[in-house]
Chains A and B, each alone.
Chain A
């Protein structure tokens, strides 16, 4: 039972354009959501997070949107840069269940120069 799903395994975008990554979840108890970026053979690095009390959080080129009624979140990267090429994971946690993250399967982003 996948509680967090990233239905697009890959995404290709032109440099300078917007990258939109999507993530869906099924557990309505999730109250904190995160995005991580991962290069091959390295550990994931934290990008941005959002609490369930908000619907948007912005940090530089990265913006995360949360739609609780649809149980959907998205990550927007604008403008996309070649260095953004990596695998992106969304993750969710339920504070009441302990500080454990449930990860999606990842989306591989390729930014073409």
Chain B
């Protein structure tokens, strides 16, 4: 069966510091991968998605970037964090487009920028 991991689970960072959040998927090949952010009391906003290694699409302009160095690894980064980057970050995966649109989420990372 497929599993998705995210780390760290929680993170407190000062403004201006760098960020690296990691997501890995097991039990599937060539998944579509996604990064979402949930701000306090809000819905889920899609930040990035990837359909393959090195292929990244950005949904909203922001202070963050994403990379996919391996098939089942998705990384969310920032060079300098802003206060507004605080939130709950979720990674998700789905099967090949056309087979299923269901996305499955990881446990999330709570990021607090102070």
Contacts and interface: CB of A to CB of B under 8 A. Distances in A.
Contacts, number: 59
A99 B90 contact: no
Nearest to B98: A95
Contacts of A36: 105
B93 to A, nearest CB: 10
A60 interface: no
B86 interface: no
Given A100-B46, A104-B43, A44 B101 contact: no
B43 A106 contact: yes
B20 interface: no
B46 A42 contact: no
Given A49-B102, A100-B49, A44 B32 contact: no
Interface of chain B, helix or strand or loop or mixed? strand
Contact of A99 (B6, B32, B106, B108): B32
Contacts of B92: 43
A79 B51 CA distance: 39
Interface residues of B, number: 26
B50 to A, nearest CB: 11
Nearest to A102: B46
Contacts of B12: none
Interface of A: 6, 32, 34, 36, 41-46, 49, 89, 91, 93, 95, 98-106
Interface of B: 6, 32, 34, 42-46, 49, 51, 59, 88, 90, 92, 94, 97-98, 101-108, 110
A-B pairs, 9 with minimum CB distance? A43-B105, A105-B43, A103-B44, A99-B97, A32-B101, A103-B43, A93-B101, A43-B108, A44-B105
